[in-house]
Structure 1
Amino acid sequence: MPAPPPGQTPWGPPPSGFQAPPPPQAQPRNGMGVTALVLGISGVVLGLMVFLFWMSWLPALLALIFGIVGLGHVRKGVATNRGMALTGIVLGVVGLLLAVGGGVFTVSKVTAFADDIREQNEAVEAAEASAEASASAEASASAAAEEARNLTFGETYTYENGLKITVSTPQPFVPDDFAMGHAKGNKALQVTVIAVNDGKKAVDFKTGLPNVRDADGADAELLIDGSGRQKVLTGNLLPGKRSVGKYAYSLPPDAADRIRVEFSPDVMEYDDTIWTGPLK
């Protein structure tokens, strides 16, 4: 078989009416729009979660960027998913707003919580300072009251109910031959307690015996004889009335000359008042 002329196929020219197939079309580049949609959904979901909102800004920002790029591809005709890209942009903006809003909300709550803690601490510190000041004031008042109850012989202490107590300087006492509580050679002394009721109610003397000791702390022994010179403060003292108690005590021969007398009309109701001074 002879070779065909140049420019001709061995099969001859195509039959009349035959059309060549169209060239293949390029695939649409829709990946950016799809990615923008997925990232936008992720950003919104994370933004709605209480503890994960702070992670939503990154996928939301990427969704916004990929969505803009996807729209560019649609305008150039190389992508067909304009709706996906636009939705990704919208969701990206929403995710960013949720991230910013969550951050502002968290900062405000943390600031409020810190303010509450600070206010509570300040309140506690103020209460402690007030308690310390109150305790210091009470201690000062107690010390002042204690100081006021330390007197010298002849001075008068006035209780809140108007009762006035005065202890005179102890005087030497000569017991008779029938004295009890006094050994030969001891020092005998007499303590005089004067009570005046300047209050509006009667005062009940329940324990009217003084406690006597010398400057070294040696206790004096109550001395009782048959002379009838001792008188115990007892019973009710009416308003405006005055009563005198006289008590005899015996001290060892070597007792110090300075005497301490403690007295309370009722140890359950009144604090002891103390008188000190030398013997005559």
Structure 2
Amino acid sequence: MSQQMPYAPVPPPPMPPYQQPPKNGMGTAGLVLGIIALVLTATVILSALGGVLGILALVFGIIGISKTKKGEATNKGAAVTGVVLGALSVVAAAAITIASVFLVNKLGDDIAKDLDRLEKEAGSTSAPLDPGTEESADEAGPEGEAANGKPFTIDEVAEWEDGVSVSIDKIAKFSPSDVSAGHEKGNDAYKVTVVVENTTKKNYKLANLMVDATAGENGTPGSQVFDFDSGLELNAGTVAPGKKATLVYGFSVEAGAKSIDLSITPDFMSEPVVWELKTP
């Protein structure tokens, strides 16, 4: 008998080649950083930090796109989105920074201009001069009284060191019309004629003149009356250098007052002067 040869063993099937897992870390990091950067930039206050994270998002996103092109990653969409968000964050942060610098510089210029203006105004305004003298009335009291301790009278002129002078021409009683404003029923109404002279070298705005009235033993404040029918309008306009302006003010004060104290200030930086006007 012939001996039968055994069959050769069947070789195992070949193993599939080893495949590395996709390297999606860079693209994912770019997407996450891009989202955070855009959120921080939108807060304005943290826009600088958002800009820095936006740059990182750009870098990681670009690396992620490169890996997808080499077949090492599969999240191209995430990487592209990270690049887009990062770019938006960088642009927004740059715009906010430029705008902030511009606003800060403008604010600084405005503050400097205001300080210069206040310094000039402070240097050009002061206490009123005593009528009929060349000396400064630094001794004038807080009520704007003259150096002799008494208020100005209707025949006296108050002059401030900035060159504006004021005098009272006359006071007259009148009856406000039905269309007047500011008059209280039961009060007496008076017209006061004020003459303003501008001896400075620049225009003087009449809107800067502040006129207030009090009356009675208790110094009750009076209210200003506006009455077009009686010639009492809002005093506005400008007095040119070397010129005068005549203004008429109306006041409603408590009935029976024997005198009215009229306080006048040429601007808010100057000392007021008070005239004691006997009622007609």
- Tell me, yes or no, whether TM beats 0.5: no
- TM-score of the superposed pair, with normalisation by structure 1: 0.45
- TM-score of the superposed pair, with normalisation by structure 2: 0.45
Higher-Rg structure is: 1
> Which of the pair is proportionally richer in helix?
1
